[in-house]
Structure 1
Amino acid sequence: MKNVTEFRITVSQQVLDDLKHRLQNTRWPGEADGSGWAFGTSEAYLKNLVHYWQTSYDWRKHESLLNKYPQYIADVNGIKVHFQYIKGKSNNAKPLILTHGWPDSYYRFHKMIPLLTEGNQSFDLVIPSIPGFGFSEKTALSSEAVADLWKVLMTGNLGYEKFYAAGGDISMNVTKALASKYAEVVAGVHFTDVGYPMGQEDPATMTEAEKQFAGFVQQWWYAEGAYAMVHATKPQSLAYGLNDSPVGLAGWILSFINAGAPAEIIEEAFGGRDALLTNIMIYWVTQSVSTSMRMYKADAIAQWSGAQPLKKTNVPAGVALFPREAQFPKEWAERSVNVVSFNKMKEGGHFAALEVPGVFADELRNFFYSIK
């Protein structure tokens, strides 16, 4: 490995004591009678979660679990990138980079590590924190710029001649860019979503199924898409409150998780209550919520500046459509990626790696080992 140093998470007790003080002194805003989750994150639910956070959640326990697998900091084109690196047990292990989204983190994949590194069909897993997120440098980059870094990380810092990549949510754009720009070194890609109609498509070229999907997306955007518009336009205004209040941070993150999962299964959909809080803690202890949101602004600036759309390539692509994701038709995926495998999954949602890690691990293994 080149320009890589070992890393361990060691959060100071002062940070944890300060968190405890802030949680104890939360000024609750109140909520409309009977509103539940209809106005955003339920205050009743959040109060219950914060009580658990204060009385039962153990960061030191989870810090130790986060340090279970090897972690490193790489200097990639002058930017410090945090990543986990776990070698597969088989002789023919395939190098695979897994990229998280928002509002999660590299922690999204922790349940899948043992599932993907054991057995005869295993992977050398590289699980980075996107710059601006978690323990990487607090530098917000566009998705395409992140893809540029990943190519250097995999081929330069780690020395792989070819590698595989998977992503969804924000990392869908990163993974698309890898396939489009670096087809000579990217052997295959996998997605759980492939982007959404944004009104730029010619309706005459769209199938009936695509038009129905576009209508659904428009309706969803008006109901649930405010977070993305704020991130893409005024992330700094929001950052002051989220970086100062752990309850505010939790409320904002939970609001988006709820957009992809019914309130009654919100914890299950994210892998459990402790998983919810560990993910929130990663944002809190690194003070990275501001730069994480700025990635949306960076992507928006790239789009507004007239950057050319990424070209579709011949890199083999697998797509897994989970039942609680927006149900796009196969032909929509085929517009932007070379779909050679399209599977409608029987269970799971937006955070499938946390909710149904075994199902997702099998999907990745079956796909990547079916291509050369």
Structure 2
Amino acid sequence: MSSEPYDVEISDETLDDLRDRLSRTRWPDQVTDAGWEYGANLEYMRELVEYWRDDFDWREQEATINEFDHYRAEVGDTGIHYIHERGAGDNSTPLVLLHGWPGSFVQMLDIIPLLTDPKSHGGDPAESFDVIVPSLPGYGFSDRPSEPGMSLSRIADLFDKLLIEEIGYERYAVRGSDLGSGIIQQLAVKYPDSLIGTHQSGTNPFIDEEQIPEDPTEAEQEFLDNAQNWNQQEMAYAMEHSTKPQTLSYGLNESPSGLAAWIIEKFRTLSHNDGDIEDSFTKDELLTNLTVYWATETIGSSIRLYYEMTQDPGEWGEMNTPTAMLMSSHDMFETPREWVERTQRVDRWTEVSRGGHFLEWEEPELVAEDICEFFATLDDPETE
């Protein structure tokens, strides 16, 4: 293995082709006053696609992305893209930030400076972090797996090897939500000695029948009822990802407007807003993430991870790593602490009323503050 510096760069040919495809979008019809009840709203999608075609400046976003230190490493037979920003402190804690779907490393850009240089943002300089943001295999500028089996468990293997053998840390902290939390669970079971602690967020609506206790509390029963309702109303996309991802890939990889509709509807549904997605994200933020998916042709490989994790659910056992949970009341539905404590250790439980499923992106200051406060309570970590 060897890491090499990496610059994010999308060719002019790819960008010209994108604009051409956007200009030739064949729009569907929509019933009167549909809003978002039927799915991605036609008026908003027209507005967003027009902006993507005529006004969005990828080169400006690309320059901002490349202000961070990017690398690519061959870990086993998989190329992994990652950001590695060193902390300003003398004894910075290595911290891995893990995204999920439909996010990417882009969702972590705003929080990185808050963690690497807290002094410049009103924080304690002693609480700085070395921040590592990998793109999951099949996402962004990491390799697209060509063989079956790239499950959450396999990704945990690759990321532990990246952090310990390639970058050279003895131990590291990790923060994640969505699929990132699934990777954290695998790390905690398989590599507990590598972990300083974990910081997690998010509601998980996937409930295995074996997880349901015979004596749920009132709060847990409400959670289970909410999970059932959410799965019926909002999770059809995940079922398709988990069963026939290849079928979706043809249309989403061919049509940028189709890709946008598939992803944007999820950002609106899962973020904290009053019906307007731009309460949570600017057009430029949404389109930077979308352009990464489009240009790298990773929509198929990204959703295939759902299939892989159903085929290989990973290893399960005692999770005794120090853990903080930052839980928003606007993330799908509320999760009671006692439910989480049935399967893992919880040292810190913080409930907030701002932000949704993408907390690092929606409320970076809030997340950074909670991360700093939690890891300051732990013993000084062994670092590089």
Q: Is TM more than 0.5 here?
A: yes
Alignment match of 1:157 (pick from 154, 166, 169): 166
Partner of 1:288: 298
| Cα distance, 1:310 vs structure 2 | 1.1
Alignment match of 1:230 (pick from 234, 240, 244): 240
Q: In structure 1, what is the Cα distance between the partners aligned to 2:245 and 2:45?
A: 23
Q: In structure 1, what is the Cα distance between the partners aligned to 2:11 and 2:31?
A: 38
Q: In structure 1, what is the Cα distance between the partners aligned to 2:361 and 2:175?
A: 15
Q: In structure 1, what is the Cα distance between the partners aligned to 2:294 and 2:108?
A: 19
Q: In structure 2, what is the Cα distance between the partners aligned to 1:245 and 1:75?
A: 31
Runs of 4+ residues over 3 Å off in structure 1: none
**Quick check: 1:95–1:124 contact (8 Å CA) kept in 2?**
yes
CA shift digits 1:227-278 (9 cap, x unpaired): 1000000110000000000000000001211221356331232x32110000
Q: In structure 1, what is the Cα distance between the partners aligned to 2:212 and 2:21?
A: 51
Secondary structure, aligned partner of 1:69: coil
Partner of 1:145: 154
Q: In structure 2, what is the Cα distance between the partners aligned to 1:73 and 1:346?
A: 37
**Quick check: 1:194–1:333 contact (8 Å CA) kept in 2?**
no
Partner of 1:34: 33
Secondary structure, aligned partner of 2:346: strand
**Quick check: 1:6–1:72 contact (8 Å CA) kept in 2?**
yes
Q: In structure 1, what is the Cα distance between the partners aligned to 2:217 and 2:34?
A: 38
Q: In structure 2, what is the Cα distance between the partners aligned to 1:210 and 1:274?
A: 39
**Quick check: 1:188–1:317 contact (8 Å CA) kept in 2?**
yes
| Cα distance, 1:203 vs structure 2 | 3.8
CA shift digits 1:136-167 (9 cap, x unpaired): 00017211111111110110001111110111
| Cα distance, 1:201 vs structure 2 | 2.6
| Cα distance, 1:35 vs structure 2 | 1.1
Judged with a 3 Å threshold, the aligned counterparts in structure 2 of structure 1 residues 26 and 93 are, in CA distance, closer, same or farther, namely: same
Which residues in structure 2 correspond to 1:145-224 (within 5 Å)?
145-193=154-202, 195-196=204-205, 197-224=207-234
**Quick check: 1:85–1:125 contact (8 Å CA) kept in 2?**
yes
Secondary structure, aligned partner of 2:82: strand
Matched, 1:254 2:260: no
Q: In structure 2, what is the Cα distance between the partners aligned to 1:228 and 1:300?
A: 11
Show structure 2 runs of 5+ residues with no match: 120-124, 380-384
Matched, 1:133 2:139: yes
Which residues in structure 2 correspond to 1:242-321 (within 5 Å)?
242-261=252-271, 262=273, 264-269=275-280, 271-303=281-313, 309-321=315-327
Secondary structure, aligned partner of 2:94: strand
* TM-score normalised to structure 2 length: 0.93
**Quick check: 2:319–2:345 contact (8 Å CA) kept in 1?**
yes
Secondary structure, aligned partner of 1:111: coil
Judged with a 3 Å threshold, the aligned counterparts in structure 2 of structure 1 residues 338 and 194 are, in CA distance, closer, same or farther, namely: farther
| Cα distance, 1:346 vs structure 2 | 3.0
**Quick check: 1:172–1:195 contact (8 Å CA) kept in 2?**
no
Partner of 1:328: 335
What code does the residue aligned with 1:212 have? E
Matched, 1:352 2:359: yes
**Quick check: 2:71–2:83 contact (8 Å CA) kept in 1?**
yes
| Cα distance, 1:205 vs structure 2 | 3.6
| Cα distance, 1:290 vs structure 2 | 0.3
| Cα distance, 1:83 vs structure 2 | 0.1
Q: In structure 1, what is the Cα distance between the partners aligned to 2:20 and 2:377?
A: 52
CA shift digits 1:36-73 (9 cap, x unpaired): 11111001110011111122110010011111101000
Partner of 2:350: 343
Judged with a 3 Å threshold, the aligned counterparts in structure 2 of structure 1 residues 237 and 263 are, in CA distance, closer, same or farther, namely: farther
CA shift digits 1:277-313 (9 cap, x unpaired): 000000000000000000000001114xxx6x51122
**Quick check: 1:37–1:263 contact (8 Å CA) kept in 2?**
no
Q: In structure 1, what is the Cα distance between the partners aligned to 2:283 and 2:10?
A: 21
| Cα distance, 1:314 vs structure 2 | 1.4
What code does the residue aligned with 2:324 have? G
Q: In structure 2, what is the Cα distance between the partners aligned to 1:126 and 1:268?
A: 28
**Quick check: 2:21–2:255 contact (8 Å CA) kept in 1?**
yes
Matched, 1:92 2:91: yes
**Quick check: 1:97–1:164 contact (8 Å CA) kept in 2?**
yes
Q: In structure 2, what is the Cα distance between the partners aligned to 1:369 and 1:59?
A: 38
**Quick check: 1:99–1:128 contact (8 Å CA) kept in 2?**
yes
Farther-moved stretch of structure 1 (203-212 vs 144-153)? 203-212
CA shift digits 1:181-215 (9 cap, x unpaired): 11111110011026343333344142221111010
Aligned Cα RMSD in Å? 1.3
| Cα distance, 1:332 vs structure 2 | 1.1
Partner of 2:2: 3
Percent identity at matched positions?
A: 35
Partner of 1:63: 62
**Quick check: 2:202–2:357 contact (8 Å CA) kept in 1?**
no
| Cα distance, 1:333 vs structure 2 | 1.2
Judged with a 3 Å threshold, the aligned counterparts in structure 2 of structure 1 residues 300 and 193 are, in CA distance, closer, same or farther, namely: same
The number of residues matched between the two structures is 366
Q: In structure 2, what is the Cα distance between the partners aligned to 1:203 and 1:361?
A: 34
Matched, 1:45 2:44: yes
CA shift digits 1:88-147 (9 cap, x unpaired): 000110000001010010111000111000132110000000000010000172111111
